[in-house]
């Protein structure tokens, strides 16, 4: 069952590679395993955003500064 759910989720990401990414103003408290959120904060240099990837229970989230093209990103209001 987990494999089926994972396949459906991953196929959704693969089928929409050109869709715009939403950039949040703060890191979300809840993030599903392997879900990706882009956050604009002071931890990354200008022109880059923080890419946060959710992890399974017991592991830490992955965080990396990445550059996004202007056409790919839209700034959204995040609720804390």
- Does the global pTM surpass 0.85? no
Residues paired with 65 in a beta bridge: 50
Q: Where are the beta strands (DSSP E) in 1-80?
A: 21-24, 36-39, 49-53, 62-66, 73-75
- Is 58 within 8 Å of 45 (Cβ atoms)? no
Using CA atoms, how far apart are residues 61 and 27, in angstroms rounded to an integer? 11
pLDDT tens per residue across span 26-65: 999 999 999 999 999 889 998 899 999 999 998 999 999 9
- Is 79 within 8 Å of 27 (Cβ atoms)? no
């Amino acid at each position: 069952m987990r494999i089926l759910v994972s396949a459906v989720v991953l196929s959704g990401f693969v089928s929409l590679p050109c869709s715009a990414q939403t950039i949040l103003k703060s890191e979300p408290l809840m993030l599903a395993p392997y879900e990706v959120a882009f956050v604009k904060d002071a931890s990354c240099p200008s022109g880059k955003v923080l890419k946060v990837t959710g992890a399974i229970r017991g592991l830490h989230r992955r965080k990396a500064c990445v550059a996004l093209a202007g056409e790919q990103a839209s700034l959204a209001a995040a609720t804390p």
